[in-house]
Amino acid sequence: MKATFVLVHSLSVGPSTWEPVARALERRGHAAVVPDLTGVAGGGPPYWPRVVEAVRAAAPETPIVLAGHSNAGLLLPVIREGLGERVVSCLFADAHLPPASGLVRVAEEGFLPFLRELADESGVLPRWTDWWSEEDVAALLPDPATRARVIEEQPRLPLAYYTQPIPIPAGWDTVRCACLWYGPPYDTVAEEAARRGWPVLRTPGRHLHQVVDPEGVTDALLKLSRTS
Q: Where are the alpha helices (DSSP H) in the chain?
A: 19-27, 48-58, 76-83, 112-118, 134-140, 144-153, 159-163, 187-195, 209-212, 214-225
- Decide if pLDDT at 100 tops 80: yes
Amino acid at 162: Y
Q: Do residues 157 and 125 lie in contact, with contact meaning Cβ atoms separated by under 8 Å?
A: yes
Give pLDDT tens digits for 35-78: 999 999 888 899 999 999 999 999 999 999 999 999 999 999 99
Give pLDDT tens digits for 78-99: 999 999 999 999 999 999 999 9
Question: 76-83 vs 48-58: helix axis angle to the nearest 10?
Answer: 50
Q: Do residues 227 and 3 lie in contact, with contact meaning Cβ atoms separated by under 8 Å?
A: yes
**Cα separation, 173 vs 202, whole angstroms:** 21
For the entire predicted model, the pTM comes to: 0.96
- Decide if pLDDT at 197 tops 80: yes
Amino acid at 96: H
- For residue 98, CA distances in Å to 13, 89, 119, 158, 215 come to 20, 15, 26, 21, 27
Helix (H, G, I), strand (E, B) or coil at 127: coil
